[in-house]
Amino acid sequence: MGKSQSKQPISEVKDGNDVRFALVGTGGCGKSAFVNAARGIDDEDELAASVDVVGTEQQPTEYIYPSNPHVCFCDLPGYGTPSYPDLETYWRILELEKFDIFLIFISLRVTELDLAIIKKVKSIKKSFFLIRTKIDVECMMNKDLLSKIKDYIVTRTKHLSCAEEDIFLISNYYPFEWDFFRLIQAIIHVMPSPEKDITQQYLAEARTYIKQNGVSGIEEFLRKKLEGSKDVKIRFGITGDSGTGKSTFINAIRGLNDDDDGAAKVDVVEATKEPTEYQHPNNQMIIFVDLPGIGTPNYPNLPIYSEKVGLEDYDTFLIFTANRFTQNDLELAKKVKSIGKSFSLIRTKIDVECTPREGRSINEQEILEKMNKDCIDNVKDLISSEKEIFLISNYHKDK
């Protein structure tokens, strides 16, 4: 197939009898990587959709399905960004009503924008599939998470009557694991009939290959197509006021003491001047980025902070707070939510608060409940579950 058939601006694709799939979701949720995986090419291929750790697609781009010029995957910009801050703007500018079928991608948490677009798509009576990506990242850490993730999505979308069979848990880099194969079959099912015959033949060959060689054989078969694919990485933005224990947390979770070689720098004065990356010791695809504290001379307010540290570059956030919940904490949480990213609120230095003073006894459980309630009261409109709030001590990891 010629290059002009594989990738072109949306305005150049004919309407006719095309079946147009709109790929929507927050930035970094894996839309572009899916376009490549579904077409059997790696991310570095000349005709591949651009995949990067920062936002790449600023304009809609159509990618023609390899063996059917009437089937198009339209890779749309992510929503919840400055260019597309809300559903109304996103829908209007991208003219989403003209698409036939929606592939709604989510990663980590189901956001309010995700729920809003599901509701909108249902209101215009269009079909959609809900696709939870990056399953390989989480299930490498804990294989028992799969059913928990599925249950979470079902619960979050229950009020929208989403059919459970239309929810798919996938990895774009392991196409024959989890629900990727089932998703491709579902997409094929709604394609124009000529494509079904061709693709069903391909799938029959793939199934024969599995029967003859086993699962490891089909992985090798696909590896030839996906050779050179980049590992999927998830980047945690570790943020909050200066001195709240961000760097100490990074050391604790990596099993290091503050004075060990390779440890994040910890000091009684501001130590982190620029974003610094630290890999998880057991999974190099998990990156903790120690961000400078907000509210310092170098980062005095949220607009300057957001621009300098590039909040949109991260997949999810841990917002650290200590002592009292501050205006900076609230503004950070609102900002993260506004760009369609998830966050957990981490209340640190619990050991200090729960230490008896001057010989007086304390009720530790009462103190913890009071702190937890304070956190909930401050971010209750920004979180989907109280489970996203944690009370910790970086130096007492058993509590």
Residues 318-350: tens digit of each pLDDT: 899 987 788 889 999 999 988 878 888 888 888
- State whether 325 and 379 are in the same domain: yes
Task: Using alpha carbons, select from 160, 163, 180 the residue that is nearest to residue 171.
Answer: 180
Structural domain of residue 383, as residue ranges?
234-391
User: Which of the four pLDDT bands, split at 50, 70 and 90, describes residue 192?
Assistant: low
**pLDDT (0 to 100) of residue 141:** 62
- State whether 174 and 133 are in the same domain: yes
Tokens standing for residue 275: 């974003």
- State whether 253 and 368 are in the same domain: yes
- State whether 27 and 161 are in the same domain: yes
CB 254 within 8 A of CB 280: yes
- State whether 266 and 324 are in the same domain: yes
Tokens standing for residue 301: 């307010």
Instruction: Tell me the pLDDT tens digit for each residue of 216-258.
Output: 443 444 334 333 333 456 788 999 988 888 888 888 878 888 7
Total domains in the chain come to 3
Q: Which of the listed residues 165, 191, 217 is the one where a domain comes to its end?
A: 191
**pLDDT (0 to 100) of residue 367:** 79
**pLDDT (0 to 100) of residue 268:** 41
- State whether 146 and 265 are in the same domain: no
d(CA 316, CA 320): 13
- State whether 141 and 23 are in the same domain: yes
Q: Is residue 397 part of a domain?
A: no
Q: What percent of the chain has pLDDT over 70?
A: 74
**pLDDT (0 to 100) of residue 225:** 34
Mean pLDDT of the chain: 76
User: Which of the four pLDDT bands, split at 50, 70 and 90, describes residue 118?
Assistant: very high
Tokens standing for residue 71: 């089937």
**pLDDT (0 to 100) of residue 33:** 87
- State whether 222 and 238 are in the same domain: no
- State whether 99 and 131 are in the same domain: yes
- State whether 244 and 355 are in the same domain: yes
Task: Using alpha carbons, select from 91, 73, 63 the residue that is nearest to residue 7.
Answer: 63
d(CA 38, CA 41): 8
Instruction: Tell me the pLDDT tens digit for each residue of 159-182.
Output: 988 888 889 999 888 877 888 888
- State whether 167 and 284 are in the same domain: no
Helix (H/G/I), strand (E/B), else coil: 390 = strand
**pLDDT (0 to 100) of residue 14:** 40
Tokens standing for residue 79: 């929503």
CA distances from 292 to 41, 105, 308, 341, 351 (A): 38, 31, 10, 19, 24
**Is 128's pLDDT higher than 90?**
yes
Could you list the beta-strand ranges (E) of the chain.
7-9, 19-25, 61-65, 68-75, 101-106, 127-132, 167-169, 234-240, 276-280, 283-290, 316-321, 342-347, 389-391
Minimum mean pLDDT range among 66-70, 238-242, 257-261: 66-70
Q: Is residue 398 part of a domain?
A: no
**pLDDT (0 to 100) of residue 119:** 93
If one compares 204 and 360, the residue with the highest pLDDT of the two is 360
If one compares 264 and 118, the residue with the highest pLDDT of the two is 118
**pLDDT (0 to 100) of residue 295:** 84
